[in-house]
Chains A and B, each alone.
Chain A
Amino acid sequence: MTIIEVKTGKSKRVDVVPVNVEGLKILTKKRYFFSWKKEKAHTQLYKLCIVGEDDILGVMALVDVPGDRRMEIKLLVSSKENVGKEKMYDRIAGCLVGFACKESVKRYGDLACVSLKPKTELREHYRNKYGMIDAGLQLCVEGLSLIKLINKYLI
Chain B
Amino acid sequence: MNAKEIMNKYTTKELADAFVLSSNLTSKQKKQADAELKIARTKTQSEMADKDRLVLKLMQLKFQIEDYLKSESFNPKFTFSYFLKEYVGILNKKRKYFAREINIDETELSQLINQHRLPNDNIMVRLEIHSNNSISAVSWCKLVEKEKEHALKTNVSLRQKEKKYVTNKLTVHIR
A residues at B contact (CB < 8 Å): 29, 33-34, 60, 68, 70, 73-78, 82-85, 87, 90, 92-93, 97, 102, 105-106, 108-113, 115-122, 125-126, 129, 133-138, 140, 142-144, 146-147, 150
Q: Assess whether A106 is in contact with B44, with CB atoms less than 8 Å apart.
A: no
Is there an interface contact between A93 and B41, defined as CB atoms closer than 8 Å?
Answer: no
A143 and B44 within 8 A (CB):
yes
Asked if A83 meets B10 with Cβ closer than 8 Å, knowing A140-B41, A147-B59, the reply is yes
Chain B residues within 8 Å of A83, by CB: 10, 14, 17-19
Residues of B within 8 A of A (CB): 1, 3, 6-7, 9-10, 12-23, 25, 29-30, 32-41, 44-45, 48-49, 52-57, 59-60, 63-64, 67
Residue ID in chain A nearest B19 by CB atoms = A77
Which residues of A sit under 8 angstroms from B45, Cβ to Cβ? Answer: 111, 142-143
Q: Which B residues are in CB contact (< 8 Å) with A68?
A: 34, 37-38, 41
Q: How far is the CB of B151 from chain A (nearest CB, A)?
A: 27
CB contact under 8 A between A109 and B18, given known A117-B23, A135-B40, A143-B48:
no
Instruction: Check B12 against A117 for contact (C-beta < 8 Å).
Output: no
* Binding site secondary structure of chain A: mixed
20 A-B contacts (beta carbon < 8 Å):
A68-B34, A68-B37, A75-B21, A85-B14, A90-B17, A110-B56, A115-B37, A116-B20, A118-B20, A118-B21, A119-B3, A125-B13, A129-B16, A133-B40, A136-B33, A138-B33, A138-B36, A142-B45, A143-B45, A147-B52
Asked if residues A126 and B16 are in contact (CB atoms below 8 Å), the reply is yes
The reply to whether B33 and A125 contact each other, CB–CB distance below 8 Å, is: no
- Contact between B57 and A109, CB atoms less than 8 A apart: yes
Q: Which A residues touch B49, using CB under 8 A?
A: 143-144
B77 to chain A, nearest CB (A): 16
Query: Are B22 and A116 interface neighbours, CB within 8 A?
Result: yes
CB distance from A86 to the nearest CB of B (A): 10
A105 touches B59 (CB 8 A): yes
**Residues in chain A near residue B9, CB distance under 8 A:** 84
Query: In the assembled complex, which residues on chain B have CB atoms less than 8 Å from the CB atom of A142?
Result: 41, 44-45, 48
Q: In the complex, how many angstroms separate the beta carbon of A81 from the nearest chain B beta carbon?
A: 10
Using Cβ atoms and an 8 Å threshold, which residues of chain B touch A137? 23, 25, 29, 32-33, 36
CB neighbours (8 Å) of A119 from chain B are 3, 7, 21-23
Kindly provide the distance from the CB of B69 to the nearest chain A CB, expressed in whole angstroms.
14
Q: Which of B3, B18, B23, B48 contacts A110 (CB 8 A)?
A: B48
Residue of A nearest to B34 (CB): A68
Tell me which residues across on chain A come within 8 A of B48, comparing CB atoms.
110, 142-144
Complex CA gap A117/B21 in Å reads: 8
Residues on B with beta carbons closer than 8 Å to the beta carbon of A136: 32-33, 35-37, 39-40
Q: Could you say which residues of chain B place their CB within 8 Å of the CB of A150?
A: 59
Residues of A within 8 A of B12 (CB): 121-122, 125
